[in-house]
Structure 1
Amino acid sequence: MLTPGVPIPFPLRWGFSTRQDAPETLPEPRLRQVHRCGVVEAPDALVEADGLWTSRVGVRIGVRVADCVPVLLAGPLADGTPWVAALHAGWRGATGYGDPDPGGGILRRGVARYRVLGGNPQDLAWACGPAIQACHFEVGPEVIEAARRDPSWREGLQAIGPGGKAHLDLHGLLKAQALDLGMDPAKDGSVGLCTMCRPDLLYSYRRGDTTGRQWGWIEIG
């Protein structure tokens, strides 16, 4: 288990699983992930969405990934109630590509929900987990076009790879969004391992792991 290395705002457990973690240590699936931007309160039954939040103690929530970025958030609401979220951010989710709701990508929507409930983004502890990094994330022009539409876009998030095609820094895009949303860089506990580079530790769909997944998960208490 890989644990974000930042102070926590209240008692909680959180982390990013690896190939070595036993299944019984991981959350129950609560989502049918669809590479969109829906963020819902943690349900008791399986729902179609790509983000969960809860303020309930002892409810472990999480998202499954094999190259996409798992994003974890934890912060107090205005009345001190703890609030946590787990988000699944592929390039579509990160940019809002193809989603009929004009609210932006999944991180923007997750933080918007936190604001509506009375939270201040500056109070959030947050972490992006292991994912495919820019060294291997070769993408088509539609991906770069979608990323460029985000208000936090900067040219350093795109590079040309050895094969002459564009590579996107998806981790970097999400971090730029976090700062644009007012989140504190001192509370960033991201784990920047590349899923393609670490077959010993992590699953990668692009590398051929079509069934294995790691989790980004969080639990109050």
Structure 2
Amino acid sequence: MTAAMPLPAVSDALRTTSPLVEDFVARAHARLLRAPDLDGAATRGDHELTPEFRTLVENVRAAAVLIPVVARPEPTVLLTLRSAHLPSHAGQIAFPGGKVDPTDPDPLHAALREAEEEVGLDRGLVSPLGYLDSYLARTGYRIVPVVALVQPDFGLTLNPGEVDEAFEVPLDFLMSPLNHQQESREWLGLMRTFHAMTYDKRRIWGITAGILRSLYDRVYG
């Protein structure tokens, strides 16, 4: 994988959408990583709440997700409902994203490519703002979250083999610690603890909720 692609500047049109968007962009530029975290042990991940996962993860693979913050007067985050027929994480709420392919020059390219493939999000409408710390999933993926601002006049074409639905959740809701919960359940004889959030009967949990908590900690905490 080559050096990370430089982050483009955010257009003035997007910056002046609303005071809430202005505030988010200012915080993002001040606090997000300017280059992806690719080296060393991932500090964020499923192991934060279940330390045993750190020793269970083998053969770490690279992945990237896009955190698309839509530049509406009250900004939202675009999320997907994974297809019920997928072999892993079926029917769960997720960010657009997936594994980094050998042809991807960096995680940014991988996240933008996956967003195009999964929901038809035109990368020309996406302005990357920076990166969160890599997130180590219990499934063995080291995920680079790419935070980006998305023009609100986008159109989507869902890939039915991967995504059943795309929807938006207010950023303000997701970034309020009052809406952040921790839940536990037994998994393969191990008591697993994970982050969770519920919005309008939609249950966001596991990796997605963990990455959203990471976004809160870095940008608003």
Higher relative contact order (CA 8 A, sep 6+): 1
Is the shorter-chain TM-score for this pair beyond 0.5, marking a shared fold?
A: no
TM tier, smaller:
under 0.3
TM-score between the two structures when normalised by the length of structure 1: 0.28
Kindly indicate which of the two structures has a greater share of residues assigned to strand.
Answer: 2
TM-score between the two structures when normalised by the length of structure 2: 0.28
